[in-house]
């Protein structure tokens, strides 16, 4: 595996399967009375969060702590970053403090990639702008495999704002690597113009796609898109691309419903769907810790403490 995890596209099939298998073993650990391993004792993991994301930060923090790493949370608010310190200077500071891994969430696409130029330790992308969110895709794949028993040949629909979604990008690359077939469903305004170059198919009709799906993944519609002419109104979006109880009935009996959170209940997903037995939304959160443990374990575990 690479020293960093920046893009799901960088993962080979062997890398991806190794992460999922390791996560499976680590998930069993959570069932023990003391769910903690000494693997990363003496290692420092910095959570460098330029965007508020309590759920992702807590998930990474829990993962690092269960592996006995020291965790430093560095949020942009109230720090030197808020006073205008550059990403480079922040990186050099973390480097000087001896960070073994930096988990970075940033509003700008590519910031984690740039960080690798300035940091000797591992960099884990915890979501960068509208680029990628590879650990989300890994935990999604992990959840699908647990629920459905396989990934190869699965038919997965990803529905919503593909254009601005880092979750969609990471899922497209990873699921392709793992042998699943992906169909993106969105209004044409919310698809990249060059989506034809991606290893997936595209549909504008959610109802037509659902009967052939093993998995349907609903994406959040960001508030700022609702007023920028991507679609006429939230109501129209919900009618055409939202998942309600009636549409859910079009899915095969075994199919599952996913959402990376946080949800806009009543916009892309109705409450009864979100809370139905098909929904894996809470499991995704649980699985997130196991998958992030696996990533930190595989990136840091094989090397000596500095």
Partner 1 sequence: MSTSAETESDWVIRGASLTGGDPADITISGGLITAVGPAGTASQGRARVLDATGLIALPGLVDLHTHLREPGREDAETVATGTAAAALGGYTAVHAMANTDPVADTAGVVEQVWRLGQQAGRCDVWPVGAVTTGLGGTALAELGAMADSAARVRLFSDDGQCVADARLMRRALEYVKAFDGVVAQHAQEPRLTEGAQVNEGEISARLGLTGWPAVAEEAIIARDCLLAAHVGSALHVCHVSTAGSVEILRWAKAKGWRVTAEVTPHHLLLTDELATGYDPVFKVNPPLRTAADVAALREGLADGTIDCVATDHAPHPAEAKQTEWGEAAFGMTGLETALRVVQQAMVDTGLLDWAGVADRMSLRPAVIGRLRDRGPGAADTRQGGPVAVGYPANLVLYDPAPGLPVDTGTHASRSRNSPYAGMKLPGQVIATFLRGTPTVLAGRLVR
Q: How many CA atoms lie within 13 A of 112 on its CB side?
A: 29
131 counts as binding partner 1 under rule CB under 8 A: yes
66 counts as binding partner 1 under rule CB under 8 A: no
Q: What separation in angstroms does the CA of 107 have from each of 59, 132, 200, 288? A: 19, 11, 26, 21
Q: Is 41 exposed, middle or buried (0-12, 13-18, 19+ CB in 10 A)?
A: exposed
As measured in angstroms, the least distance from the Cβ of 162 to partner 1 is 9
As measured in angstroms, the least distance from the Cβ of 132 to partner 1 is 7
Sign of the alpha-carbon dihedral angle for 164, 7, 13, 32: negative
Contact 256, 280 (CB under 8 A): yes
72 counts as binding partner 1 under rule CB under 8 A: no
Pick 29 or 195: Cβ nearer partner 1: 195
Kindly write out the interface string for residues 158-187 of this chain, putting x where it contacts partner 1 by CB under 8 A and - elsewhere. --------x--x------------------
CA–CA gap between residue 189 and residue 193 (Å, rounded): 9
CA–CA gap between residue 292 and residue 60 (Å, rounded): 6
The dihedrals phi and psi of 149, each to the nearest 5 degrees, come to 85, -5
Is 106 one of the annotated active-site residues of the chain?
A: no
80 counts as binding partner 1 under rule CB under 8 A: no
Is 133 one of the annotated active-site residues of the chain?
A: yes
Map tokens 């960093």 to a residue.
Answer: 4
Pick 170 or 270: Cβ nearer partner 1: 170
197 counts as binding partner 1 under rule CB under 8 A: yes
Contact 103, 47 (CB under 8 A): yes
Pick 163 or 289: Cβ nearer partner 1: 163
As measured in angstroms, the least distance from the Cβ of 166 to partner 1 is 6
Annotated catalytic residue within 36, 55, 150, 254: 55
Backbone torsion region of residue 184, taken as left when φ is above 0, otherwise alpha when ψ lies between -120 and 50, otherwise beta: beta
CA–CA gap between residue 124 and residue 113 (Å, rounded): 9
113 counts as binding partner 1 under rule CB under 8 A: yes
195 counts as binding partner 1 under rule CB under 8 A: yes
129 counts as binding partner 1 under rule CB under 8 A: yes
61 counts as binding partner 1 under rule CB under 8 A: no
Pick 130 or 203: Cβ nearer partner 1: 130
Which of 141, 146, 136 minimizes the C-alpha distance to 178? 141
Nearest-Å Rg of the Cα atoms of the chain is 19
In the list 128, 140, 161, 214, the residue contacting partner 1 (rule: CB under 8 A) is 128
Is 280 one of the annotated active-site residues of the chain?
A: no
Is 55 one of the annotated active-site residues of the chain?
A: yes
Interacting residues with partner 1 (CB under 8 A): 9, 86-88, 106, 108-111, 113-114, 128-132, 166, 169, 192-195, 197-198
Which residues are part of the catalytic machinery? 55-56, 83, 105, 133
């Amino acid at each position: 595996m690479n020293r960093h995890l920046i893009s799901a596209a960088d993962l080979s099939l062997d890398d991806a399967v190794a992460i999922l298998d390791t996560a499976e073993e680590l998930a069993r650990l959570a069932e023990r009375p003391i769910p903690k391993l000494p693997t990363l004792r003496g290692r420092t993991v910095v959570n460098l969060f330029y965007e508020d994301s309590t759920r992702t930060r807590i998930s990474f923090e829990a993962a690092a702590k269960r592996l006995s790493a020291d965790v430093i949370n560095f949020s942009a608010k109230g720090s030197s970053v808020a006073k205008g310190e550059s990403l480079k200077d922040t990186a050099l500071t973390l480097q000087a403090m001896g960070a073994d891994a930096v988990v970075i969430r940033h509003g700008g696409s590519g910031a984690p990639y740039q960080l690798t130029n300035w940091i000797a330790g591992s960099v884990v992308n915890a979501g960068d702008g509208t680029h990628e969110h590879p650990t989300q895709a890994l935990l999604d794949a992990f959840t699908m495999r647990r629920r459905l028993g396989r990934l190869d040949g699965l038919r997965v629909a990803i529905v919503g704002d593909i254009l601005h979604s880092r979750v969609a990008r990471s899922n497209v690359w990873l699921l392709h690597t793992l042998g699943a077939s992906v169909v993106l469903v969105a209004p044409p305004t919310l698809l990249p113009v060059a989506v034809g170059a991606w290893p997936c198919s595209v549909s504008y009709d959610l109802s037509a796609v659902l009967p052939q799906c093993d998995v349907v993944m609903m994406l959040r519609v960001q508030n700022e898109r609702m007023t920028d002419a991507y679609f006429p109104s939230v109501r129209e979006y919900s009618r055409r691309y939202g998942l309600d109880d009636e549409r859910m009935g079009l899915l095969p009996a075994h199919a599952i419903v996913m959402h990376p959170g946080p949800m806009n209940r009543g916009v892309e997903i109705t409450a009864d769907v979100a809370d139905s037995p098909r929904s894996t939304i809470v499991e995704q959160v649980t699985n997130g810790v196991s998958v992030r443990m696996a990533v930190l374990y595989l990136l840091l575990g094989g090397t000596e403490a500095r």
